[in-house]
Structure 1
Amino acid sequence: MPVTTTDSCLEFAFPEVHRQAHLSITVQRTLRVPDDATTYGLPPGLGAFQLTDGAQVRNRARDWSSGDVLLPMWQAEAAWFSFSALSDYPFLVRMSVGGINAVTGDDFTDEVDFTGEDYFEVPTQPWLDGFRVDETTVRQFVAMPLGKGYTAAEQLTGDDDATLRIQVTPLKGETWDGRQAARRARRRKVADFGDIVAPLAAPDGAMPEPGSAMGMGAGGSITQSIAVPIEQKENWVIDAQSEATLRIINSAQWEALTDTPPHHAPPTITQYRRYGYPWFEWYDDSLARQGSSKFADLDTVKQVGEKNGEQALPDNPSFLPPAPHIVGG
């Protein structure tokens, strides 16, 4: 069954597998944590990004597939992905960011690597904030233009396919029905700025020219683990896999494509701290996967900018992280 796109959500449904096999994915706006030597807690969501079916916009690029979904972001804006499964129904999720696997850093392949565990399971893993570095940290997803080595894929492979691919595989219905109790869902609080913060002007250099492609670079360090898979290989319905492809559209291109203004620029760190929005720490008894990935030696967006002689991050002041709220358990 094809993926359904709403204004802010990707809906994966597998009624042929089980009536409860339904997964919702949103891309959450958030604060870009400082790109420095500090590891920060999980910043909350500031509302979901708008998602639009690429087939519904005018002047779409010729290389876009009919099912591509457009994700509008400002340059240097951060994002995290939220996964919500109906009744805690389990799913196997794999993510390609620019053509590389977000968990391992290897080239993304169509087939699941059960030996290398190049995937994560939902609802055991309710969020993904960035590229997995090691057992306790990720590097935040930060939208950056292609062509100058800012994105993770460009650094690791020399190329970036300018897409975010999300592949979803459902658990077998009979396996689900045979269980006595579903896992309790873990929900991360999503704070919404609403009208508290007025629309912000784009920082200098934050508005690229229309038509320039963007990918995801590695931003500041965030405390987050990726849980070890717990389901057996034979429990998944591989033949029922479904996939969505997202393309990051910069603010200027978004307006040219849709005749609508982009969402207001992300808040500065100073504004964010002024309003006292919370930070989180996810406490979970599940075992985090050990060891480091290929992302461990990646240059961050700030470091690439310094090598290029550019001010890649117009707002990057360091600060002492506040005490986080503990969630999960």
Structure 2
Amino acid sequence: MALGLDRDTLIFEFPEVHRDAVLRVEFQRTLRVPDDGRRHRLPPGLGRFPLRAVDDLDPARLPAGWARRGGIAMPMWQAEACWLNFSSPTGYPFLLKVAAGKVNAVNGKPWDNAPDFADQDYLEVPGQPWLDGFCVEKGVVRQFVAMPLGQGYTAEEQVTGSAEHGGVQLLAHPLKAALWEKRLEEARNAPVHAYMAMCVDGLATPMMPSAMGLAPGGSILQEIKEASEPPEAWETTARSRCFVHLANSLAWQAIAGEAPPTVPPTAADYARAGLPWFEWYADGPAKAGSPILAGLKSVAALGREKGQAPLPENEGFEPPEPIRLGPSARVPMDGWW
């Protein structure tokens, strides 16, 4: 197995399992949807966050614990949002676990290297193309929003009461090679349109103040697909993990020796410009939300309790009709010219 970076994309490769077993993960900059009690459509991607291997950074500049954990680092502004984009170039299936501060983003339970097949604490890629936040109920996630550790806002601090880890944790298992080869053979012998469809579908150390974690922000309509692969389909003897450290953009120059990305636009400004929002139509049943994650307080709600205003420019807006994406999206036959 191998873990690498290519143009700000994290790549999991399992050549010992199969040459096709390649998973790509991008961290996309995006608009922070208003944390106003409404359910919002999918915000756009505004480009990839810069990713840097921790081993390539000056150890003297790193926050405590980063060198020991290894992995990669990326900058985020306080209260900035992100979403994760997943792809498998050949359509090779993967089981992918995602956590924030070692709190599972799908079921809210503490991090465990072993997949929980009974409670499905993972995503299936390429069936799940992206993840925008914590799964709080069926069809709804709370957006990933970066907040400093130690102030009580992150999911980790709300669930565990401590600010020990921060960052994002990823773990991938590939499908068993024999099963993939069988599907390839079936696809080759299937009608041409079926083969084309298969290809398209593929398409505890104290932390410095600069360290960030992810907190639950505004609500977004997004389904987490129920698992369709049986547990025995996964090559659980082959796995690859990565710890993604989040650095406050104000400290990125000191840590990485380069300027961070500019501050993203607000959602209201984006909407006023008439730019698109999106809606995903899945082709399978959605997973129920996590009672643990549903019990978390959003950044805005917790800020009100603290007498603070942690989310600047949190104004609401009237969004346009979303662009529909996904295998069951209906394409209009006519429209405005």
TM-score, length of structure 2 as denominator length? 0.87
Q: Secondary structure at the match of 2:49?
A: coil
Deviation at 1:62, TM superposition (A): 4.1
What is the CA–CA distance in structure 2 between the aligned matches of 1:321 and 1:275, rounded to whole Å?
11
Q: Secondary structure at the match of 2:153?
A: coil
1:293 corresponds in structure 2 to: 291
What is the CA–CA distance in structure 1 between the aligned matches of 2:150 and 2:241, rounded to whole Å?
26
Q: Secondary structure at the match of 1:255?
A: helix
Cα distance, 1:165–1:292 mapped onto 2, change above 3 Å: closer
Q: How does 1:61-80 map to 2 (within 5 A)?
A: 61-64=63-66, 65=68, 67-80=70-83
2:175 corresponds in structure 1 to: 171
Q: How does 1:228-239 map to 2 (within 5 A)?
A: 228-239=226-237
Q: How does 1:1-329 map to 2 (within 5 A)?
A: 1-58=1-58, 59-64=61-66, 65=68, 67-160=70-163, 161-179=165-183, 180-181=186-187, 182=198, 184-185=200-201, 211-329=209-327
Cα distance, 1:261–1:46 mapped onto 2, change above 3 Å: same
For residues 2-25 of structure 1, the C-alpha deviation after alignment (integer angstroms, 9 at most, x for no partner) is 310234110011111111100100
Deviation at 1:44, TM superposition (A): 1.1
Q: Secondary structure at the match of 1:220?
A: strand
Pairwise CA RMSD: 1.5
Task: Verify the 8 A CA contact 2:271 2:320 in the aligned structure 1.
Answer: no
Deviation at 1:274, TM superposition (A): 3.5
Q: Secondary structure at the match of 2:29?
A: strand
AA partner of residue 239 (structure 1): T
Deviation at 1:186, TM superposition (A): 7.2
What is the CA–CA distance in structure 2 between the aligned matches of 1:219 and 1:66, rounded to whole Å?
27
AA partner of residue 63 (structure 1): G
AA partner of residue 28 (structure 1): Q
What is the CA–CA distance in structure 2 between the aligned matches of 1:100 and 1:183, rounded to whole Å?
34
Cα distance, 1:66–1:156 mapped onto 2, change above 3 Å: closer
AA partner of residue 270 (structure 2): Y
Deviation at 1:50, TM superposition (A): 0.4
Structure 1 ranges of 4+ moved more than 4 A? none
Q: Secondary structure at the match of 1:29?
A: strand
What is the CA–CA distance in structure 2 between the aligned matches of 1:122 and 1:136, rounded to whole Å?
18
AA partner of residue 77 (structure 1): E
Deviation at 1:157, TM superposition (A): 1.1
Q: Secondary structure at the match of 1:231?
A: coil
Task: Verify the 8 A CA contact 2:95 2:174 in the aligned structure 1.
Answer: yes
AA partner of residue 296 (structure 1): A
What is the CA–CA distance in structure 2 between the aligned matches of 1:30 and 1:263, rounded to whole Å?
12
AA partner of residue 36 (structure 2): D
Aligned length: 307
Cα distance, 1:132–1:186 mapped onto 2, change above 3 Å: farther
AA partner of residue 48 (structure 2): A
Deviation at 1:219, TM superposition (A): 0.4
Task: Verify the 8 A CA contact 1:35 1:316 in the aligned structure 2.
Answer: yes
Identity of aligned residues (%): 45
AA partner of residue 201 (structure 2): A
> Which one is further off, 60-69 or 223-232?
60-69
What is the CA–CA distance in structure 2 between the aligned matches of 1:212 and 1:87, rounded to whole Å?
38
Higher relative helix content: 2
Gaps spanning 5+ residues in structure 1: where? 188-209
Task: Verify the 8 A CA contact 1:150 1:301 in the aligned structure 2.
Answer: yes
Deviation at 1:271, TM superposition (A): 2.7
Deviation at 1:185, TM superposition (A): 2.1
> Which one is further off, 50-59 or 138-147?
50-59
Task: Verify the 8 A CA contact 1:132 1:293 in the aligned structure 2.
Answer: no
TM-score, length of structure 1 as denominator length? 0.90
Cα distance, 1:67–1:148 mapped onto 2, change above 3 Å: closer
What is the CA–CA distance in structure 1 between the aligned matches of 2:288 and 2:72, rounded to whole Å?
33
Task: Verify the 8 A CA contact 2:173 2:236 in the aligned structure 1.
Answer: yes
Q: Secondary structure at the match of 2:232?
A: helix
What is the CA–CA distance in structure 2 between the aligned matches of 1:95 and 1:285, rounded to whole Å?
22
Deviation at 1:211, TM superposition (A): 4.1
Larger Cα-atom Rg: 2
